[in-house]
Structure 1
């Protein structure tokens, strides 16, 4: 997924890509780590054009993914969708001035550098997808999870287990009063 800068110097162009998730190293690592399973290809639609001293890329990325609920451990399907804007600046020696402290503006937080006559979008697209995968996925906001005693899925049934409330280590301080 590379865009040649000579094609977007004069006019804004539209691009669309449909790539398998395995072609993105970051996404392949997520699958290998068991974080998720991509059930379809990564679909990208974007526009790219030159603005003053940088290139602006705006677009959307969509990919179907299968996740495991962190409460009940059931697998469920979701579609990851992300809209993004990224500014690409040409990497040069002037960009590497050393200063003690630099204040970053909003524009700097969504920009990255490139070198040569092509902008490689692969790492940026993979990053957009990875950021949308939740750390603790839930099949629903109302998921009851598993019983800590017998392990039954409380979403599909109930159990007669008695769950003891553990006494907090700080319970002794509950009635503590400070005197002036």
Structure 2
């Protein structure tokens, strides 16, 4: 999964750079992603995949309070993490993270009868994500389509990618711009 994510980011990051015919897409700079926030860490699998693929990043694993408490399992794997209610502000400095990952978080919030809106969650992500940082959200197609319109409201550059033809899941890849377009 991480290898696929990284290969998706490479052409997006360098899409505005001219390439000679036959050149492969360059790899992202080694230190482009330093701090990653996994908003719905499950068992810490994204953290483990980053380590296995040799990515030198620091990951904060977050277990939503309305999900099963897998935090002890994350700790047992040697990772760090916290429990958090995403309808509240996340206790961190602004612009802390280079990448935010969320797998199934929108579905989880929908099952809770939308205690807070997707816009509320995205505004918090916008606060903690550095300019030119990346957001990768994996969820069902209808929720991803709705999330894309919220990303457009925030003036994030957003693309929806199909993951698998047999799956109803899609991936929303967004980048927070350095400066907001007027």
- TM class, shorter-chain normalised? under 0.3
Q: Which one has a larger percent strand, Structure 1 or Structure 2?
A: 1
Q: TM-score, normalised by structure 2?
A: 0.22
Q: TM-score, normalised by structure 1?
A: 0.23
Q: Which one has a larger percent helix, Structure 1 or Structure 2?
A: 2
Q: Over alpha carbons, which structure has the higher Rg?
A: 1
Q: Which has the higher contact order (CA 8 A, sep 6+)?
A: 1
